[in-house]
Amino acid sequence: MAKKAKMVVDKEFKIAEIDKRIYGSFIEHLGRAVYGGVYQPGHMSADENGFRKDVMELVKELEVPIIRYPGGNFVSSFYWEDSVGPVAERPKRLELAWRSLETNEIGLNEFSKWTRAVGAEVMMAVNLGTRGIADACNLLEYCNHNGGTKYSDLRIQHGVKDPHKIKTWCLGNEMDGPWQVGHKISEEYGRLALETGRAMKLIDPDIELVSCGSSNTGMPTFPEWEAITLEHTYEVADFVSLHQYYGNRFNDTANFWAQSVDMEHFIRTVTATCDYIKAKKRSKKTMNLSFDEWNVWFHSNQEDDDIMKNNPWQKAPKLLEDVYDFEDAILVGLMLIVLMKHSDRVKMACLAQLVNVIAPIMTEENGPAWKQTIYYPYLHASKYGRGIALQPVISSPKHDTIDFTDVTDIESIAIYNEEKEEVTIFAVNRNLEEDIELTCDVRCFADYRIIEHIVLEHENMKVVNSPKGEAVTPKCVDRSELNDGIITSSLGKASWNVIRLGKSK
């Protein structure tokens, strides 16, 4: 007898209006993300600015709303002044985070131009590792002030008349990490971030600031880091950051897919810590979350260590070029569902990263750009996950893994786009052996019909896409019926499902 699961979706069960910025991404000056990724003059697809148009088209298809820049660990030894002005006069620098050579051919103004071309905003990070308050203020003045001052006039001299008006700013990156250039203890960082944020908001009161949270849940100071730093930054910051990467290092697919449970625990713990500080300070302000680094990352670690240790100071070496397989795509889908389920507090998130470096988009130096397996759940979430997240009431079979108990076979969320009169149900069947029949009560959406049921599935967990062809692509299937307000869907074993409903015309 086939396993069964039930779900109730009602437009009154509102979690929150999803901030489109939870479908953001990240470009760091790391490996081939910039040079050979978004920028490659001389490539057959390059435009007049040297940007690869094939990459731009794939980014546009994803509808990425915001892109974090320029790091990442890179930012903690970044001298922004080196990245602006005449390209021929820009100095080359030893990039300490990834032990590479930074030529500064692409800098702040060029990247801002690229983000506008792909329809995205910039989330800018400031260097609080080797620099501080004055440098952050100078950068903000350069970017956002109209003119008539030293740094805004310098921007104009560089050929950029109109200010960039960057709204969102990260106060450093992973400052709790001992790998970080300029690593700080919590009290040091909290004080510096507070004073930097105060000064920046004197220049532009409309900006949003992100205070550094823990680099991951495995840090020995988590969540004490959040509690101590937010004691300082709570009133000046608008968000606290979360970073988390997962891997299947022990080749256990069921346990790998259950790691989305850990991601949910991470979000709940940080939310609770924020609310503790809110209560302690008697504050009326609610701190929101920016999950501004998340992805699968483990395939390339050993190779990266060898390059950085034994062959340093290369320009754009191949670093962090994970080739993603089918099971990676399923976990990315699960992580996206977690972000949607917590959209009441998670208002921004960045899939790290966007091109070549642990990325959904890859490029060949003298060839095409192509889509990795993880491209597709990210695409579906970004396109169809806009609107109001509805709290699903789910009854599902469960299973245990090595590290997790009571893991639901079915993980799901529903998004109601009132303007378009559409409902999208995202559902993963993480049962590796059996299809599951899902019945979903959607009676509150009278006169709706099924538009399509999209599936990403494959028998081989380790199959990958490549520039020679895509083995893992979504397909439309006839596995869902809607009768009298009840959807009956067959969710294939180990599958990502997107069930779209629209109002009958």
Looking at every residue in the chain, the average pLDDT score rounds to: 97
Q: Give me the pLDDT at residue 173, please.
A: 98
How does residue 411 score in pLDDT terms, banded at 50, 70 and 90?
very high
d(Cα 357, Cα 456) in Å, to the nearest integer?
23
Rounded Cα–Cα distance for residues 122 and 8 (Å): 38
Which residues are registered as beta bridge partners of 93?
Answer: 102
Collapsed DSSP state (helix, strand, coil) of residue 338: helix
pLDDT of residue 305: 78
Residue 255's pLDDT is: 98
Question: pLDDT tens across 126-179, in order?
Answer: 999 999 999 999 999 999 999 999 999 999 999 999 999 999 999 999 999 999
Structural domain count, the chain = 2
Is residue 49 domain-shared with residue 159, that is, in the same domain? yes
CA atoms within 13 A on the CB side of 336: 35
For the segment 260-276, the average pLDDT, to the nearest whole number, is: 98
| 342 lies in the same domain as 405 | no
- 112 and 127 in a single domain? The answer is yes
Question: Across the chain, how many H-helices and E-strands are there?
Answer: 11, 26
Just list the catalytic residues: 174, 293
In the predicted structure, residue 399 carries a pLDDT above the cut 90: yes
Task: Give the pLDDT mean for 319-345.
Answer: 98
The stretch 329-336 carries a mean pLDDT of: 98
Band of pLDDT at residue 368, cut at 50, 70 and 90 = very high
- Quote the CA–CA distance of 78 and 191 in Å, as a whole number: 21
Statement to judge: residues 352 and 482 lie in one domain: no
pLDDT surpassing 70 at residue 217: yes
Q: In angstroms, what CA-CA distances link 87 with 114, 122, 163? A: 16, 21, 20
Query: Per-residue pLDDT tens for 175-192?
Result: 999 999 999 999 999 999
For residue 505, give every residue at least 6 positions away whose Cβ sits within 8 Å of its Cβ, in sequence order, or none: none
CA distance 107 to 113: 10
What is the pLDDT at residue 306?
Answer: 84
Given 324, 353, 384, the domain boundary residue is 384
pLDDT at 46: 97
- Percentage of residues of the chain with pLDDT beyond 90: 96
- Say which CATH number the domain at 472 has: 2.60.40.1180
Q: Are residues 121 and 197 in the same domain?
A: yes
- Give the CA angle between residues 86, 92, 93 to the nearest 5°: 135
Q: What is the mean pLDDT of residues 228-253?
A: 97
Does one domain contain both 360 and 393? no
Q: Does 303 have pLDDT greater than 80?
A: no
d(CA 80, CA 84): 7
pLDDT tens digits, one per residue of 432-479: 999 999 999 999 999 999 999 999 999 999 999 999 999 999 999 999
Contact, 191 vs 132, CB < 8 A? no
Last residue of a domain, one of 365, 384, 403: 384
* Section 206-210 average pLDDT: 98
CB-based burial label for 249 (10 Å; 0-12, 13-18, 19+)? exposed
- The structure tokens listed for 303 are 């190779």
Is the Cβ–Cβ distance between 304 and 310 less than 8 Å?
Answer: no
Give 364's pLDDT tier (boundaries 50, 70, 90). Answer: very high
Amino acid 179: pLDDT: 96
* CA atoms of 208 and 269, how far apart (whole Å): 23
Task: Compute the residue count for the chain.
Answer: 505
Please say if the pLDDT value at position 249 is more than 70: yes
pLDDT for the residue numbered 504: 83
What stretch of H or E contains 349? Answer: strand 346-352
Please enumerate in sequence order all residues whose Cβ is within 8 A of that of 178, keeping only pairs 6 or more positions apart, or say none.
none
Q: Are strands 422-429 and 495-503 parallel, antiparallel or unpaired?
A: antiparallel
Among candidate residues 344, 251, 233, the one with its CA nearest the CA of residue 298: 251
pLDDT for residue 268 is more than 80? yes
pLDDT > 70: percent of the chain: 100
The whole-number pLDDT of residue 1 equals: 62
Task: Provide the whole-model pTM.
Answer: 0.97
Q: Tokens standing for 165?
A: 């008006």
The reported pLDDT for the residue numbered 2 is 76
Question: 376-399 in b/e burial notation, b at 16+ Cβ within 10 A?
Answer: bbbbbbbebbbbbbbbbebebeeb
For residue 432, count other CB atoms closer than 10 A to its CB. Answer: 14
- Give the domain-ending residue among 323, 354, 384: 384
As a whole number of angstroms, the distance between CA 459 and CA 463 comes to 9
- Please say if the pLDDT value at position 359 is more than 80: yes
> Is the same domain home to 405 and 489?
yes
pLDDT at 383: 98
pLDDT at 418 over 70: yes
Q: 365 and 239 in one domain?
A: yes
Amino acid letter at 121? E
**Tens-place pLDDT, residues 250-265:** 999 999 999 999 999 9
Q: What is the β-pairing status of strands 448-457 and 475-476?
A: antiparallel
Which structure tokens are listed for 198?
């105060």
The boundaries of the domain holding residue 317 are: 19-384
